[in-house]
Amino acid sequence: MLRAPDCMTDVVNTVTRSKIMSSIRGRNTQPELIVRSYLHSRGLRFRIHQRDLPGRPDIVLRRLRAAIFVHGCFWHQHANCRFAVMPRSNRAFWKAKLKGNQLRDVRTSKLLRRAGWRVFKIWECSLETKSLSRLYRRIVATSRTVASRRKMIC
């Protein structure tokens, strides 16, 4: 198995890199659209980027109390992923920035779980059909157990 290098060499100048990085969107990204399309084709209906929930989850299934985050491997530093490479220039900035993203992800997940939400995370590098169907099965399977618990309480 090939191991990703600890850092990457930039192939463009700093001005071009700055323009590229500033144009990266935080919402409606291609990986997010792929996940939304897959879930919708399976009959799940959802809301996106709910402001009233911690972390504004990418996909929210209110009826199933499920929040889904579609994480970019670079921005959220997916462990042992070839896309999660630390830039060579301005390393101190990038280490702090990317570590902050990871810490915020942990805080957000804890807040959502305390509020009774089930949190699901899918990585950009694993958007093949097998992973998407596994995500769908996990959402549906856990929703059945949540529904049965509600019936027992009532």
Q: Tell me the CATH number at 132.
A: 3.40.960.10
- Whether 138 is covered by a domain: the verdict is yes
- Whether 30 is covered by a domain: the verdict is yes
Greater confidence (19 vs 92) lies with 92
Q: How far is CA 146 from CA 49, 67, 123, 142, 153, in A?
A: 23, 14, 25, 6, 11
The count of structural domains within the chain is 1
In terms of residue numbers, what domain contains 97? 25-153
pLDDT at residue 1 in the model: 46
- Whether 82 is covered by a domain: the verdict is yes
Question: How confident is residue 154, by pLDDT bands cut at 50, 70 and 90?
Answer: very low
Distance, CA of 143 to CA of 138 (rounded, Å): 8
- Whether 124 is covered by a domain: the verdict is yes
- Whether 104 is covered by a domain: the verdict is yes
Greater confidence (145 vs 33) lies with 33
State the helix-helix crossing angle for 129-153 and 30-41, rounded to 10 degrees.
Answer: 60
pLDDT (mean) for 25-32: 81
- Whether 12 is covered by a domain: the verdict is no
**Residue 144: helix, strand or coil by DSSP?**
helix
* 67 and 121 Cβ atoms separated by less than 8 Å: no
- Whether 8 is covered by a domain: the verdict is no
Range ranked top by mean pLDDT from 4-18, 57-71, 135-149:
57-71
State residue 35 phi and psi, 5-degree precision.
-65, -45
DSSP characters over 6-71 = SEE---S-HHHHHHHHHT--SSS-HHHHHHHHHHHHTT---EES-TTSTT--SEEETTTTEEEEEE
Greater confidence (114 vs 153) lies with 114
In this structure, the number of other CB atoms found within 10 A of the CB of residue 82 comes to 12
